[in-house]
Amino acid sequence: MNNPFDFGGPFVWQPTAAYTQRSNLLRFMRQHGLATLEELQRRSTEDVAWFTEAVIEFLGIQFQRPYTAVVDLSNGIQRPRWCVDGQLNIATNCVDKWADNPATRSNTAVIWEGEEGQTRTLTYAELHAQVNQCVNALRGLGLKAGDGIGLHLPMCPEIVIALLAIAKLGGIVIPLFSGFGAGAISTRLNDPGAKALFTADGFFRRGKITPLKTTADQALTDVPTIEHVIVLRRTGQDVPLQAGRDVWWHEIMAGQSEEAEAALLDAETTLMLIYTSGTTGKPKGTVHTHCGFPIKAAQDMAFGTDVQQGDVIHWVTDMGWMMGPWLVFGSLLLGSTCFLYDGSPDWPQPDRLWAMVERHRITQMGISPTLIRSLIPHGDEMATQHDLSSIHLFASTGEPWNPAPWLWLFNVVGKGQRPIINYSGGTEIAGGIVMGNPLQPLKPAAFAGPCPGIAADVVDENGRSIRNAVGELVIRAPWIGMTRGFWQDEQRYLDTYWSRWPNVWVHGDWAAVDNDGQWYILGRSDDTVNVAGKRIGLAEMESILVNHPAVAEAAAIGIPDEVKGSAIVCFCVLFPGQHPSDELRRELIHAIADQMGKPLQPKEIWFVADLPKTRSAKVMRRIIRAAYLGENPGDTSSLLNPEAVAEVSRKK
């Protein structure tokens, strides 16, 4: 693969005293006498037990019974046991700890804004009371520790209350994307034999009501284990309730005690099953525990995005994706404020996101590269007309950046002063493998390095470390947030991550490290196409396309070719005022040929109105490829805009 970025290029942001002196990361290093980040990284990966215990203490995690060992690796690094013999209920650390403290009980835990303009806030004391009411309501239905409970709600305060109530009960949270179809819901509920489901009558999107309860009812015809459905009244539309199964949220919560005991749990008790979609086969249920996912989430939020008490963090996401639970668990473990928005980030006007930053004084703003690319065509003034001075930093995850939109966010929105903390990992990681931080300089689209405690490396096809070249992203030591496996499918877990090289986690991403130690994630290693014997990363070609002044977004796919083995087809969304033409198509093909070589130029470039995306604005390239080739697209449950798929399928 060629390098899509100018490795060794200039830094554009340098840490200032205002960032370094307030940072959690510097405070942690000083507590342990660590003079440099290199020293921290080395010690955190060579002595995993020391680092993990230091993080647990830094976060103030309270155990109901202390652990006797931080980690037990007697079953291999693929199957570590953490916080051995300890008892921990993570909900008490997220809520009770702050609500019981007179100094923090009145601090704001949750701020919410709905698309239609409603707003609500919950203090830690109010959140504590409502979580306890929900726990008592669940116990009143006969639900208990170990029961699977689905979470199929809009991003409103009740989704936080329900998430924490399930945890406090000792149940297993099954987060479900609010845009899922019936089949995707039933598959995920059937896998662990779920006993209950939280859902709502519907939600608002782009000024219209989208039903939820109707979809849930369709799904539950195929889920025989469900005994109870708790329905939130969000939109006020009429929905049928099934007698003996369905109850209204407001009715079952009414009159419940505001005090509830937390279930006594082993620290490694399963907290949550987050499902990741595959191109074939059933979704993989990644298993996360009370002492795993939340601690890793809070660590990354503290050290990378520097969230502290008094900060307000927002991430454009849904609870069905890992960044939803990550946002809630991380922010509340740190005693900060979680901001939720239930709606489209560009509706009713393209400045909605920036208007909310101004209204609610958001300090850490998490987005995806695709979302930024989709906002750029609306003009700089959509952002610059708002007071964005509250923003301490931006954060980004979901897919690789192209330098041009990264620089737009940095220079236009951030005025060249606020860092963009790039973040990449996955559901099975419980957060990041690589991440920026307030102590290190930044280059466009790059990462400062591995997260502390993550023994990341980039290797060639023989598993040997390489630098300033593209290779496989791997991890060489365990970390507390790692998935405990796939639900009831251990062999698939071992085959997916541990089968290529002994005791090495292979993540499935292409990555590189430049001469300055900056890291780059270059797309999925299965998003690589072999054209006439040359291996090409699709993100590389997309970067060239979006650097053209006419192109707002681009996606590249590989298709079979009798001569070359594979050929490249590209899809481009143009800026307003730009029009498709054969001349523009030739211009774009020539740009790629000039930069990558004529043998690697795309076979075809198509102009489309939109690219198929998830609600979190991630481009779904595998679905583009399937639509173009007329193949089965696999799991399409997270697709937001099926009309874009239809347009792709008409292009061939």
Q: What is the pLDDT of residues 401-434, one digit of tens each?
A: 888 899 999 999 999 999 999 999 999 999 999 9
Mean pLDDT value of segment 18-34:
98
Residue 527 has pLDDT above 70, yes or no: no
Out of 408-422, 472-486, 500-514, 559-573, pick the least confident: 559-573
Burial (CB count <10 Å: 0-12, 13-18, 19+), residue 369: buried
Mean pLDDT value of segment 335-353:
96
C-beta separation of 212 from 199 below 8 A:
yes
Q: What is the overall mean pLDDT for the chain?
A: 92
% of the chain at pLDDT higher than 90: 79
Mean pLDDT value of segment 301-317:
97
Residue 92 has pLDDT above 50, yes or no: yes
Out of 351-365, 470-484, 590-604, pick the least confident: 590-604
Mean pLDDT value of segment 506-529:
84
pLDDT number for residue 4: 46
Give the integer Cα–Cα distance in Å for 48 and 470.
27
pLDDT number for residue 616: 61
Tokens of 255: 């009159």
Residue 643 has pLDDT above 60, yes or no: yes
CA distances (Å), origin 554, targets 542, 548, 550, 607: 6, 11, 11, 9
pLDDT number for residue 524: 72
Residue 532 has pLDDT above 60, yes or no: no
Residue 394 has pLDDT above 90, yes or no: yes
Digit-coded pLDDT (tens) for 573-618 = 999 999 999 999 999 998 888 766 677 789 999 999 999 987 666 7
Domain ranges of the chain: 17-93+270-523, 126-253, 532-649
Out of 1-5, 173-177, 362-366, 584-588, pick the least confident: 1-5
Give the integer Cα–Cα distance in Å for 231 and 25.
42
> What's the topology of domain 17-93+270-523?
Rossmann fold (3.40.50)
Mean pLDDT value of segment 135-143:
98
Out of 101-110, 131-140, 372-381, pick the least confident: 372-381
pLDDT number for residue 1: 38
Mean pLDDT value of segment 353-357:
98
**Which residues in 223-257 are b (16+ Cβ under 10 Å) and which e?**
beebebbbbbebbeeebeeeeeebbebeebbeebe
pLDDT number for residue 278: 47
Q: pTM of this prediction?
A: 0.86
pLDDT number for residue 280: 41
Residue 77 has pLDDT above 80, yes or no: yes
Residue 2 has pLDDT above 50, yes or no: no
pLDDT number for residue 375: 93
pLDDT number for residue 509: 87
Q: Does domain 532-649 have CATH number 1.10.10.10?
A: no
Mean pLDDT value of segment 482-488:
97
% of the chain at pLDDT higher than 70: 94
Digit-coded pLDDT (tens) for 191-200 = 999 999 999 9
For residue 140, what pLDDT band results from cuts at 50, 70 and 90?
A: very high
> Do 17-93+270-523 and 532-649 fold alike per CATH?
no
Tokens of 77: 């690094």
Nearest to 410 by CA among 430, 396, 426: 396
C-beta separation of 27 from 439 below 8 A:
no
H helix count then E strand count, the chain: 22, 29
Mean pLDDT value of segment 183-187:
86
| CATH of the domain spanning 126-253, picked from 3.30.450.20, 3.40.50.300, 3.40.50.980, 3.30.1330.10 | 3.40.50.980
